[in-house]
Amino acid sequence: MNSLNQPQMIECINAAFPTAKAVEMERFNGSTTGIWIRGSEEMDVDDLPLLDPFGMDTREVTYRLGVHKKFSNFCEQVGWYCELYDAGTLMVYPS
């Protein structure tokens, strides 16, 4: 069970990661579940993008499954998880 609802999570993401530009999934594909991270490929954490779709960090030191670990851990701590929609699109869903 997640501890934050969608509007609360969007607010938290955008406060902690301003270039994430998180919005309701509905704006991407009409779904009422999940969050679309519109700025996932922009520099944000440690001067790196939230999303590394091409697996440049093969040691998984900074990224886990293409998502910056700081962002992924942030989401998981409040009951949400990250998932790639495609090679350049990051989504966040309630656990």
Digit-coded pLDDT (tens) for 43-53? 778 888 888 87
Task: For residue 60, give the nearest of 52, 17, 13, 9 by alpha carbon.
Answer: 52
DSSP label at residue 56: -
Please state, in angstroms and rounded to a whole number, the distance separating the CA atoms of residues 37 and 79. Answer: 17
Quick one: DSSP state of residue 95?
A: -
Mean pLDDT of all residues in the chain? 88
d(C-alpha 78, C-alpha 62), whole Å? 20
Measured distance CA(63)–CA(70) in Å, rounded: 8
**pLDDT at residue 91, rounded to an integer:** 96
> What's residue 88's pLDDT?
85
The string of pLDDT tens digits covering residues 5-31 is 999 999 999 999 999 999 999 999 999
pTM (2 d.p.): 0.88
Measure CA of the first residue to CA of the last residue in the chain; give whole Å.
6
Tokens standing for 11? 């607010």
Going by pLDDT thresholds of 50, 70 and 90, the confidence category of residue 57 is low
The mean pLDDT of 68-73, rounded to a whole number, is 93
